[in-house]
Structure 1
C-alpha cells in the first residue's frame, strides 16, 4: 500500500482485510478480482486506487453477484426499521410454533433474487410476521441484528494489521497456527524484549509465518530477524499479508536450521551432511558451542557500516573470518566453471548473511515455536544467544515444555525459568448487558521463559 496525501492507497498486489459487520476476510487484490462473502460473489475492481477505511455498499448485479458502490457510511438495519415499529410489554404470550412467518422459504429466496435490498427484504419479513409487533423492544432489536448478519449490505476495506491477521487466521483454522492467539503473540514479543535494532533468532515449524510477521513488525532499520525453519521452504502467508516493503523484508533472513548450524560451526563433515535431512531434528544434539567462533560480547558497539563490511553482498566475511583454504576453494570453483556468485539462489545468500552476522555478534533473544519436541532445537540454538538475553519457547501442550524445563535446569546456562499458561476470556460490553462470553477458547498454549547466562553446559 502506497501513501498519497497522508492516506493509504490500495494497489494491485496488496493484501486487504474485507470487513462485513463482524466478519473479516483476508484477500489479495488482483486485476478483475472477485471475493466470496458467504454465498455471495463481490467484485473488487473499484477498491483499486481508493484509500483504506473506505465503505462500500453492495448492489446486486446478477444472481449472487454484487458490485461495490462507494458511500459515506454504513447504516444499521436495526436502526432503519425499528424507528416506527410498535413493541409489546413482554413476551409471555409468544410461542415458537414455527408458523409465525407467513412467507415460505422459496418466497424469501425469490425476494432476494428479484433484486430487493436488505432493508426491503427484512421489511417484508416484519410485515408478514404474526409475533414481531408483540415482542419487546429488546427482542425486536435482537431479531433485527440476527437478520442483519445475513442481509448486511456494506463492506469496509481495511489495512492488514498484526491483530487482524492473527484473528482471521485463528478463526479460520487455529490448528494451522498452533492455537496462537493475539494475546499469546503479544506475550512472546514482550518476554523476548524485542527492540528495533536487535538481532533475534526465531525457530518456526509451521504457523503460517505468524511469529515471523509479529517480530518483523517491530524490527527497525538496523535490526535483524533470523527466521529458522526445519524444511525446504518456510511458511510466509502472514508475512505476505502484512504488505511489508522490500527494504523491510531485507531485515529478515530465512535459513534452514541444519545448514545454518553447519555454516556457523564450520562443520563440513559427513555427520553434519547426514543431519541435513528435512524434518529430522533428532541429530541436532551433536552441535555444541565448543568450536563456535568467539565473538565480541559487546556487540552493541558494532555499527551498521561495520556489519556491512563483515557481510558484504551476503557472501564474504572479514579477512580474519575466512581461511586461506576457503578462498582457494572459491577460486577453484570459479576457475572450473562452478556456480557464479551472481546466480546463487536467494536462500544461499541469506544463509551466508545469517552465518556472518552470528559470527560477528550473538543474538539478543531466542524464540522457539515448534511442533516438534523442543529440547534438541533449544540446545542447538542456545550457544548463538548472548548472555543475559531472554529465551522464549511456545508449545500448544505442556508436557514438552516440562521436559525442556528439566533439561535446562540440569544444564545451568538458563536461569529464571518460568512455565506459564496463557488464558483469555472475552466479555460482551453493552449497556446493562455486560457479561463474559458464554463460549470461549479452551486455551492459548504454554510459554517457557528464561534468561541465558554463561554457565556450566552439559
Structure 2
C-alpha cells in the first residue's frame, strides 16, 4: 500500500477539479493550500494511504483550514434523487434567476455552521422551484456541478503520466505547447521508445513532459539524453512523477553548446587541449554522432536545430519533430525532402474528439500542434563503390555503422544514381564487369505506389565473429547484389 510521504508530489481531485501540489520537506510543518472554495491542510494527509479523504473542520484550531481524514464509506449525492420526482421535458422552465430561494449569504452561513457538502446541496435542492420539473439527466448535471463546489470528499492520488498530461493540458496548455495526451502517445510510438535503447529529447517548452514519458516507458533500462541549449533542462513534470533513483538513472543532461565543442575536439585531437580530451571515467559513454536510436524535438522554432540534431541519430533511427505551428514544420519538411534525409517523410496533424455517455459532443478538442516523423537514411552506394579501391578504410566505416547492435540499413532513391553510373560506364567496356557488380548493390526497386523502401539486413554473425575487410566487403556486395 502506497503511503503519502513528505517532499512528495500529489494530485488532489474532486470531479473535474484537480490540483497538483508538493508536500513540505520537513515533518510536522503545516502546509495549507486553496482547493476550489476550501482551504486544505495537506500536512494532515502525511503518513496515510492514497485514496478518498473527507474534509472535516477542526473546531479547536484557530485556522479555517480543513483537515483530511481517510474515508471508509463515501456517500454520493446521487442518492438525493431517490425520493424526488423528475419531469419529462425542460420546455416549461424559464431561467429568470429567481428559481433558487437561497442567496449567497445564506449558503455561506450554512457553511459556517459546519454543514457538510451533501447537506448544503440538499438545502439547495429543497429551495429550488424548478428542480423537480427538470428531466433526470438535467438533475444529474445539476448535482455534479454542485458537488464540484461543495462536496466534502476529495481523492488524493499518486500522479502518473496520463493524469499529469491531462492536468497540464486542461489547466494551462500553453505551458506544454498544447500537447494533448493522445498526441504524446503518438510521439512515443512513432519514435519507437522502448527499453535498452538510446534516445534523445530536446524539450523546448513542455516542462519535461516528453522526457518523463520516455523515462516511464524504458523503466530504468537504456539511456535518455535530455538536450538543452542554455540554462537548465526542464524537469518540473519529471519531479512530479516521483521517480525512484533507479528510474532516474538513465537520464543524462547534455548542453548542446558544450557537446558541439567536444565533438569538434574529437575530430581534431591534435589541436585539442589535454584537459578537454580527458573525460570522467565514471560517466556514461559520451554522446556522439550516430548513436541515438530515436530522437524527439519539441519546441516552437525547430528549424534552427533540427538538421544539426539529426546527425546524432544512428542509421535507420526514428525521429519526431513536434511544433504547435505549421510554418516551421513545413520548412523542415521541404528541406528534408530536398536533401533526402529521411524515408516516407510525413507531416501529421493529430485531432481528438471526446464522446459523452448521453450524446455526442460535436466539438473537436483544441489544436494540439503537428509533427514530422519517419526514419533517417544512410546511403551506402558510394561507400561500396569506393570499397573496391580502399577496403581497409571502408571496413572502419562499416563497422561504425554496425556499432551498438545496428544491422539495418535503409536506402532511398538510388535508382537515379544507378542510371547515371550505367550511362557513364557504358563508354568504358573494360571496367564494366567490375562496375556492374557495384551497380547491383545500389539497385533498389520502388514498385509500390508509396515508393516504400526495402530494408536490408546483414548476417548476425558479423557482430560475433572476426572477419577480414575483404570478407566483409564480399559479403556486403553479395547480399546487396541479390536485391534487384
The answer, yes or no, to whether TM exceeds 0.5 is yes
Larger Rg: 2
Runs of at least 5 residues in structure 1 that lack an aligned partner in the other structure:
1-6, 268-290, 293-321, 332-340, 342-348
2:225 maps to 1:231: no
Partner of 1:9, secondary structure, is: coil
Change (3 A) 1:385 1:60: same
Q: Deviations over 1:318-366 (max 9, x none)?
A: xxxx8797547789xxxxxxxxx9xxxxxxx79x946x43349711011
Equivalent residue number for residue 14 of structure 2 = 20
The corresponding residue for 1:448 is 372
Q: How does 1:250-329 map to 2 (within 5 A)?
A: 250-266=249-265, 291=267, 326-327=273-274
Q: What residue in structure 1 maps to residue 241 of structure 2?
A: 242
> Partner residue of 1:417?
345
Query: Once superposed, what is the RMSD of the aligned Cα atoms?
Result: 2.7
Contact 2:32–2:65 under 8 Å retained in 1: no
* TM-score, length-scaled by structure 2: 0.71
Q: What SS is found at the alignment partner of 1:417?
A: strand
Candidates 32, 36, 39, aligned match of 2:37 = 39
Highest RCO, 1 vs 2 (Cα 8 Å, sep ≥ 6): 1
2:320 pairs with 1:387: no
Cα separation, 1, equivalents of 2:96 and 2:272 = 88
Judge conservation of contact 1:14–1:28 (CA < 8 Å) in 2: yes
Q: Which residue is 2:110 aligned to?
A: 111
Identify the residue that residue 345 of structure 1 maps to in structure 2.
Answer: none
| In 1: Cα distance, 2:41 partner to 2:224 partner | 38
SS in 2 for 1:364: strand
Report what 2:298 is aligned to.
369
- Counterparts of 1:154 and 1:71 in 2: how far apart (Å)? 8
Counterpart CA distance in 2 for 1:112 and 1:14 is: 31
Correspondence for 2:75: 75
Match of 1:404 among 329, 332, 339: 332
In structure 2, C-alpha distance between the alignment counterparts of 1:382 and 1:360, rounded to whole Å: 9
Q: Is the contact made by 1:197 and 1:220 (CA closer than 8 Å) also made in structure 2?
A: no
Q: Distance in 2 between matches of 1:42 and 1:178?
A: 31
Q: Render the CA deviation track for 1:204-227: whole Å, top value 9, x for unaligned.
A: 112111111111111244400111
Task: Tell me, in whole angstroms, the C-alpha distance in 1 between the residues paired with 2:275 and 2:256.
Answer: 27
1:142-181 equivalences in 2 (<5 Å): 142-181=141-180
Is the helix fraction higher in 1 or 2?
2
Closer, same or farther in 2 for the Cα pair 1:66/1:455, shift >3 Å? same
Does the CA contact (< 8 Å) of 1:15 and 1:29 recur in 2? yes
Following superposition, the deviation at residue 13 of structure 1 comes to 0.9
**Secondary structure at the counterpart of residue 163 of structure 1:** helix
Ranges in structure 2 where 5+ consecutive residues have no aligned partner: 383-484
Moved over 6 A (4+): 322-325, 328-331
Partner in structure 1 of residue 2 of structure 2: 8
Cα drift, residue 233 of structure 1: 1.0
Deviation of 1:101 after TM superposition, in Å, equals: 2.2
Secondary structure of 1:380's counterpart equals helix
